[in-house]
Amino acid sequence: MSQVIKKVLIANRGEIALRIVRACAEANIRSVAVYTEPDRYGLFVKRANEAYSLGSDPLTGYLDPTRIVNLAVETGCDAIHPGYGFLSENPELARLCAEKGVTFIGPSAEVIRRMGDKTQARLAMTEAGVPVTPGSPGNLDDIEQALAEASRIGYPVMVKATSGGGGRGIRRCDNEEELRKQFPRVISEATKAFGSAEVFMEKCIVNPKHIEVQILADRHGNVIHLYERDCSIQRRNQKLIEIAPSPQISDELRHRLGKLAVKAARAVGYESAGTVEFLLVNEDVYFMEMNTRIQVEHTITEQITGIDIVQEQLRIAAGAPLNFSQETVSFRGYAMQLRINAEDPKNDFLPSFGRITHYYAPGGPGVRVDTAIYTGYEIPPFYDSMCLKLIVWALDWESLLARAQRAIDDMRLHGIRTTANYYQQILQHPDFRSREFDTSFVANHPELSRYSDKKHPSDVALALAAAIAAYAGISN
Ligand code: ADP
Ligand code: ADP
Ligand code: MG
C-alpha cells in the first residue's frame, strides 16, 4: 500500500520552503524549489536540489495551481508539499494533484474545502459533538440578519470572514452601532484578501486563551495528538509568541483538549498533520477552526516531542502508518517560538524591509533557528514580514524564560528593524512570567513597545567600522 516518494516539489518560499528541503534531505528525497524573480536569491532556492523560476511577478506564480502541478509533472516530481499560506488551503491544488497522479502532502481536497469554510467546519464539529463558539448557524446575508443574530447571541460579537486566515477579516463589535459600521468592512476585507464575500458571526469570547492541538492522522485510521500550543500572545489576532505545552492549563484539561482534537479529526476523515484551534475561558473550551496544513509554530511541538512533523507528513503521504501510538508520544520540558518580524514596534509595527547588513545566528543549548535570511540578503517587500523563527527549549518554565532572553541577546540582525527587542519586554513582564496571560495581553500593554534600545558595545564597534569603511571608500 505504501508507495515511495522520491522527489518533492515545494510550492512555497522562505523559511518553510527551507524547512521542507531539510526534511526531504534527511529522508533521502530530492527537493525542487520554485520561485518568482524577487526570490531568486532566497536560501531555499540555493539549498533545494533543483529550482525553477515561476516568472517575474512576485505572487502570481506561487498562487497558480495549474502551473505548479504541471511543473511537478514536467520535472518528474511524485509529490507536492504546499507549506503554509499560499495554496496550502486551496482545495484546487489538492484536486489537481489527484487528477494528475501527483501525491499532495496534506489531506484530501474535500476535507480542505470543508474545513477551510469556517461555517461548514463549525457545522461538522457540532455534528461530531465538539463544542463550538456560539454563533450564527451559517453565513450572514445582510446587515438585518447580522443585527438579529447579534441580539440573539448577545454583544460583544465577532464578525468573521468565512474563508479567512492569518488573523485578517475579523472584527469585534460591542454594540449595534459598531456592528453597522464593521459589517461592510469585514465583507470588503474578505473580498479583497480571500476572494469571497462570505461572513459569519461568533460570540466574542472575552479575554480567552488561544490553545491549539497538533494532530497526526494516517490513511489507516490512526489519529493521534501531539499535545497543545499556547498562542495567546497575539497582536491584532496574529500570533507573535507560541509556547508548548501551555504553561497555564492543568493536565486534566490538556488531556480533554487532546481527545477533542482527535475526535474532530476523526469526524472529518482527516489525513496528514493538522491543527485544531480552541478558545479557552476558565475551563470552558470552544472549537474555533481547523488548519489543514503545517503551521508556522509546528516547531515547538517538535522540540518537546522529538517528532519531526514534516517528515511524518512525507511518510503519511506515502501511505505509511504512523510511527507512534498515543501511548508512545510524550513530551519533555517547554519550548517557545518567537516570530521575529521585519517590523518597527516603535512605529506601530510598520513593515521594515530591506538589506540585512549583518546577521549572526544565536546558538548554544536548546536554541533552534528556522530562517531563510543571511548577511547581504535583501528582504523583498511583497511577502509576509516574518523573517526568522527563534525557537528555544528548556526543562522548566523559568529556564525557558532565561534562555529566550539570552538567545535574543545572542542574535545580531542589522539593516532592518525587528520585533526582537520588543519580545525582551514581554519576556520580562511579571504577568507573562507568572504564566497569567490571554489574547488581550499585547493590547493591554502598549507601553511595552516604548522601550529604549540598549546598544551592545559590539554593535557600536560594528557601526564605527562601517563608518570608517564608508569614509575610506572601502565597499563591502
Ligand atoms: P499559523 O496558523 O500557522 O499560525 P498564520 O495564521 O500565521 O499561521 O498564517 C500563516 C501564513 O499563512 C500567513 O502568511 C498568513 O497570511 C497565511 N494564511 C493563513 N491562512 C490563509 C488564508 N485562508 N488565506 C490566505 N493566506 C492565509
Ligand atoms: P484565522 O483563520 O485568521 O487564524 P481564527 O478564527 O483562528 O482566524 O482567529 C484568530 C484569532 O482571533 C484567535 O486566535 C483569537 O485571538 C481571535 N478570535 C477569533 N474568534 C474569536 C472569538 N469568537 N472570540 C474571541 N476572540 C476570537
Ligand atoms: Mg486561526
What secondary structure, in 3-state letters, does the chain show? CCCCCCEEEECCCHHHHHHHHHHHHHCCCEEEEEECHHHCCCHHHHHCCEEEECCCCCCHHHHCHHHHHHHHHHCCCCEEECCCCCCCCCHHHHHHHHHHCCEECCCCHHHHHHHHCHHHHHHHHHHHCCCECCECCCCCCCHHHHHHHHHHHCCCEEEEECCCCCCCCEEEECCHHHHHHHHHHHHHHHHHHHCCCCEEEEECCCCCEEEEEEEEECCCCCEEEEEEEEEEEEECCEEEEEEECCCCCCHHHHHHHHHHHHHHHHHCCCCEEEEEEEEEECCEEEEEEEECCCCCCHHHHHHHHCCCHHHHHHHHHCCCCCCCCHHHCCCCCEEEEEEEECEEHHHCCEECCEECCEEECCCCCCEEEEECCCCCCEECCCCCCEEEEEEEEECCHHHHHHHHHHHHHHCEEECCCCCHHHHHHHHHCHHHHCCCCCCCHHHHCHHHHCCCCCCCHHHHHHHHHHHHHHHCCCCC
Residues with CB under 5 A from ligand 3 (ion): 277
- Distance from the CA of 289 to the center of ligand 3, in angstroms? 6
Q: Which domains does the chain have, with CATH numbers?
A: 7-105 (3.40.50.20), 134-203 (3.30.1490.20), 209-458 (3.30.470.20)
Q: Which three cell numbers stand for residue 361?
A: 545566528
Per annotation, catalytic residue among 30, 235, 293, 315: 293
Asked, as a colleague might, if the bond just before 137 is cis with ω within 30 of 0, I would say no
- Distance from the CA of 165 to the center of ligand 3, in angstroms? 6
CA distance 227 to 271: 17
Say which amino acid occupies 158. Answer: M
* The dihedral sign for the CA sequence 246, 247, 253, 259: positive
Ligand 2 contacts CB of residue 205 (under 6 A): yes
Ligand 2 contacts CB of residue 14 (under 6 A): no
- Distance from the CA of 85 to the center of ligand 1, in angstroms? 5
What's the number of CA atoms in the CB half-sphere (13 Å) around residue 19? Answer: 29
CA distance 350 to 346: 8
Contact 81, 313 (CB under 8 A): yes
Specify whether the backbone of 83 is left (phi greater than 0), alpha (psi in -120 to 50) or beta.
left
Ligand 2 contacts CB of residue 116 (under 6 A): no
Q: What is the reported pTM?
A: 0.95
Contact 77, 52 (CB under 8 A): no
Closest CA to 93 of 110, 114, 116, 109: 109
- Distance from the CA of 386 to the center of ligand 1, in angstroms? 12
* b (16+ CB within 10 A) / e for 394-421: beebeebbebbeebbeebbbbbbbbbbb
Contact 419, 343 (CB under 8 A): yes
Average pLDDT per block of 10 residues along the chain, 476 residues long: 89 98 98 98 97 98 98 98 98 98 98 97 97 97 98 98 96 98 97 96 98 98 98 98 98 98 98 98 96 98 98 98 96 98 97 97 98 97 97 98 98 97 98 98 97 69 64 56
CA distance 130 to 321: 26
What backbone torsions phi and psi does residue 429 show, to the nearest 5 degrees? Answer: -75, 135
Q: Among this protein's residues, is 172 annotated catalytic? A: no
CA distance 252 to 248: 12
Cα distance between the two ends of the chain? 55
Ligand 2 contacts CB of residue 164 (under 6 A): yes
Closest CA to 145 of 119, 177, 180, 197: 180
pLDDT at 452: 86
Closest CA to 254 of 169, 326, 360: 326
What ligand 1 atom has the least distance to the C-alpha of 84? 12
Q: Kindly report the number of other CB atoms within 10 A of residue 227's CB atom.
A: 20
Residues having CB closer than 6 A to ligand 1 are 84-85, 89, 163-167, 194, 239, 291, 295-297, 384
- Contacts of residue 398, defined as CB under 8 A and 6 or more positions apart, other chains included, come to none
- Distance from the CA of 287 to the center of ligand 3, in angstroms? 11
Pairing, β 157-161 against β 103-104: unpaired
pLDDT at 476: 43
pLDDT at 325: 96
CA distance 173 to 9: 43
Q: Which three cell numbers stand for residue 248?
A: 497555564
Ligand 2 contacts CB of residue 158 (under 6 A): yes
Candidate of 288, 292, 442 to mutate for ligand 2, largest count of ligand atoms within 8 Å of Cβ: 288
